[in-house]
Chain A
Amino acid sequence: MRAPRNPFRVRVRRLLPAPVSPGSPVAEARGLRVLRGRRPVLDRIALTAHAGEVLALVGPNGAGKSTLLAALAADLPADGGEIRIDGHPADGWSAAELALRRAVLPQSAALSFPFPVEDVVRMGRAPWAGTERAEEDDPAVAAAMAATEVTGFAARPFSALSGGERARVALARVLAQRAPLLLLDEPTAALDLRHQELVLRICRERAAAGDAVVVVLHDLGLAAAYADRAAVLHDGRIAVAGPPAEVFTGELLGEVYRQPVEVFPHPRTGAPLVMPTRET
């Protein structure tokens, strides 16, 4: 039996995203420049996120990682150059159309009212309301909660959770949105070892399923192990971008972070490990 349709729901015509083939560009920054006051916080950024890849943004504090992510999310207007999402300039999309094309995990998860966890995850389905894909709502919510291991406290209010649990609920909401572009701002910051690995595995799975995943990371080891490509930001520019094994060199990282580091291959997997140079 069909549930009665909510009479207060406004039905809007939206252009649904077409499926993208692996390797095609999902989001692009072309000669991007973003000013804060008069100071450029991002300058001459050229970066493309492709379908099917995990792209890590790394760099020291204040290098512009979060700003770049916000620009890719079309939160910030470009002061020069342009951002393209799904093949069109980002400012040409309406908020509702953008919501079908990219999902964003903010650095900190806040909530004004004590909604239960499941309702928070279900908010991620809001962009699809009134479209044919609204039928996926229940499975998408259940799958996102299972993947982030929050099903166990689905009925608890969000305000009663610990920081790490909140971060996972926020991630579940973003996953439930099922957008072809995932922009995650430090998804591992509040998490323990096990859940850090879990989150990055989820990123890999989404990429394998054909999504583009852009993730800001502080842990270079995680970036090296899970990202297809890494972009190292330095003072608002991309110092270098490419596969972690190629771009994570002791010389470059030492200069960018102003801290001598040693890079050596993992004895079993061969993935680069990055350690600060310590005397003892």
Chain B
Amino acid sequence: MTATSPERTRAGAAAAPEGPRAPKPRRSSSFALTAGLLAALLVCCLLSAGLGAYHISLGDVLASVQHRLGLGGAALDRVGESVLWNVRLPRVVLALLVGASLGCAGALMQGVFGNPLAEPGVIGISSGAAVGAVASIALGLNFLGNWTVTVCAFAAGLATVLLVYALSRSGGRTEVVTLILTGIAVNAFAGALIGLFIFFADNAQISQITFWQLGSLAQATWSKVLAVLPCAVLGLLVAPFHARRLDLLALGERPARHLGVDVERLRVVLVLVVALLTAAAVAVAGIISFVGLLVPHLLRMANGPGHRFLVPGSALGGALVLVVGDLAARTVAAPAELPLGVLTAFFGSPFFFWLLRRTRRKQGGWA
């Protein structure tokens, strides 16, 4: 045994100068990224509130917001005030909520499945929720007033998450191939159900469904904001509390349990949160894909996979992407308006290809 002691001291000495350097750079870069995202989000919200067919200057937007908050400022003229408060701002707030929900749901799903490809759109949760929403429109359901579509989307989305989860897991792991194939099956089945509902719907309902399916925030009103607010806020508030446990889950289910995580409970809670967030997004804006995939991946590249930053960061990033996307959707081809879902898929798919190639080059794919 004595022969080993020089080794020990050598290892100890080598460790000493590196010891205290621990997590500081990571923490300050999280802080900088969060601050940057928040600042960009604020600027884009203000821009989005001012730009459009009826131009409102930045100063006027600020003055009007100040006025409504009772902090001085001044109201605009009648048209300006109406455009800002009844058209632009509900739309910006809706984009924020939907984007934050999608980004956060993507990060959570990837953590729960332990798989970087899990995303509500890719594996069919969004289409599942969409079936609920379409059903409620086509059947003319109105049992909960304003909240009917959201609640139906939530119920159907929850059923779909549970289904996908049960189908794609074996032995505590989710194989990428199984997950993607399950997604294909679920998407196809949901597509068939949506087709059936459209087949039996009347003309007015069909146009409503079609437009909604393209993914758009054009019909934003405060009542729509209110319809998704509880779902989105509840989900967004609960999610960050589980970030640390999601980190541990990356080790696998048993090692996570060995470190004190109640894995079953964590899974149930997070699946519910994902269903809530997806429902909030789908109920108002249809299927907007790739946001939940793109945002967490970019943030992981920038700041590593730690969920304590990733979960709230993805919410911020998703909100930013959707606010910018919606601004582009309604200004690029003005006076016509592009559907938002088309736009995000248009830019999201090439990103997905790039991701695929990059992962293949670096680690030989996602087997």
- Are both chains from one complex? yes
Residues of chain A whose beta carbon lies under 8 Å from any beta carbon of chain B: 6, 8-10, 73, 75, 94-100, 102-104, 106, 110-116, 118-120, 122-124, 126-127, 129, 138, 141-142, 145-147, 149, 151-152, 154, 159, 177, 201, 204
Please state if B244 and A138 are interface contacts (CB–CB under 8 Å): no
Please state if A8 and B243 are interface contacts (CB–CB under 8 Å): yes
What mask results when residues 303 to 327 of chain B are scored 1 for a CB within 8 Å of chain A, else 0? 0111010000000000000000000
Any A CB within 8 A of the CB of B240: yes
Whose C-beta in chain A lies nearest to the C-beta of B4? A201
Whose C-beta in chain B lies nearest to the C-beta of A152? B14
Please state if A146 and B115 are interface contacts (CB–CB under 8 Å): no
Whose C-beta in chain B lies nearest to the C-beta of A125? B259
Please state if A149 and B19 are interface contacts (CB–CB under 8 Å): no
> A138–B244 Cα gap in the complex (Å)?
17
| Partner-binding segment picked from B152-160, B249-257, B278-286 | B249-257
Contact among B23, B252, B258, B308 for A73, CB-based, below 8 A: B258
> A260–B186 Cα gap in the complex (Å)?
56
- Residues of B near A119 (CB, < 8 A) are 23, 247, 304, 306
CB distance from B173 to the nearest CB of A (A): 8
Any A CB within 8 A of the CB of B288: no
Contact among B15, B244, B304 for A151, CB-based, below 8 A: B15
Give the 9 A-B residue pairs with the shortest CB-CB distance, closest first: A99-B260, A113-B305, A112-B114, A146-B15, A96-B260, A151-B15, A127-B260, A104-B258, A112-B250
What mask results when residues 1 to 37 of chain B are scored 1 for a CB within 8 Å of chain A, else 0? 1001000000110110011101100000000000000
The residues in B between 233 and 265 inclusive whose CB is less than 8 angstroms from any CB of A are 240-241, 243-244, 247-252, 254-255, 257-263
User: Given A103-B258, A123-B248, is A149 in contact with B11 using a C-beta cutoff of 8 Å?
Assistant: yes
- Residues of B near A141 (CB, < 8 A) are 22
What mask results when residues 200 to 217 of chain B are scored 1 for a CB within 8 Å of chain A, else 0? 000000000000000000
> A245–B4 Cα gap in the complex (Å)?
24
- Residues of A near B19 (CB, < 8 A) are 138, 142
User: Given A98-B260, A113-B305, A115-B304, is A123 in contact with B247 using a C-beta cutoff of 8 Å?
Assistant: yes
CB distance from A32 to the nearest CB of B (A): 19
Please state if B258 and A123 are interface contacts (CB–CB under 8 Å): no
Any A CB within 8 A of the CB of B300: yes
Please state if B244 and A115 are interface contacts (CB–CB under 8 Å): no
Contact among B11, B262, B308 for A146, CB-based, below 8 A: B11
Please state if B20 and A99 are interface contacts (CB–CB under 8 Å): no
Any A CB within 8 A of the CB of B348: no
> A119–B248 Cα gap in the complex (Å)?
10
Any A CB within 8 A of the CB of B52: no
Taking A102-B258, A112-B249, A142-B15 as known contacts, 13 extra A-B pairs with beta carbons closer than 8 A to each other, sorted by chain A number, are: A6-B308, A75-B257, A104-B258, A106-B255, A111-B250, A112-B250, A113-B114, A115-B306, A120-B251, A138-B22, A141-B22, A146-B11, A204-B1
CB distance from A177 to the nearest CB of B (A): 7
- Residues of A near B308 (CB, < 8 A) are 6, 8
> A126–B4 Cα gap in the complex (Å)?
31
How many B residues have CB within 8 A of the partner chain?
39
- Residues of B near A116 (CB, < 8 A) are 304
Any A CB within 8 A of the CB of B73: no
Please state if B257 and A159 are interface contacts (CB–CB under 8 Å): no
Please state if A113 and B254 are interface contacts (CB–CB under 8 Å): no
- Residues of A near B1 (CB, < 8 A) are 201, 204
> A177–B250 Cα gap in the complex (Å)?
17
Whose C-beta in chain A lies nearest to the C-beta of B240? A8
Whose C-beta in chain B lies nearest to the C-beta of A70? B254
Contact among A10, A95, A129 for B241, CB-based, below 8 A: A10
- Residues of A near B363 (CB, < 8 A) are 159
- Residues of B near A114 (CB, < 8 A) are 304-305
Any A CB within 8 A of the CB of B116: yes
Please state if A126 and B12 are interface contacts (CB–CB under 8 Å): no
- Residues of A near B115 (CB, < 8 A) are 112
> A97–B260 Cα gap in the complex (Å)?
7
User: Given A95-B257, A96-B260, A115-B306, is A138 in contact with B14 using a C-beta cutoff of 8 Å?
Assistant: no
> A116–B11 Cα gap in the complex (Å)?
20
Contact among B15, B250, B258 for A115, CB-based, below 8 A: B250
Please state if A126 and B244 are interface contacts (CB–CB under 8 Å): yes
Please state if B244 and A111 are interface contacts (CB–CB under 8 Å): no
Q: List 6 A-B contacts (CB under 8 A).
A: A75-B254, A95-B263, A104-B254, A115-B304, A141-B22, A177-B259
Whose C-beta in chain A lies nearest to the C-beta of B312? A8
Contact among B4, B22, B255 for A104, CB-based, below 8 A: B255
Please state if A95 and B11 are interface contacts (CB–CB under 8 Å): no
Contact among A113, A118, A151 for B11, CB-based, below 8 A: A151
Please state if B250 and A113 are interface contacts (CB–CB under 8 Å): yes
Please state if A8 and B20 are interface contacts (CB–CB under 8 Å): no
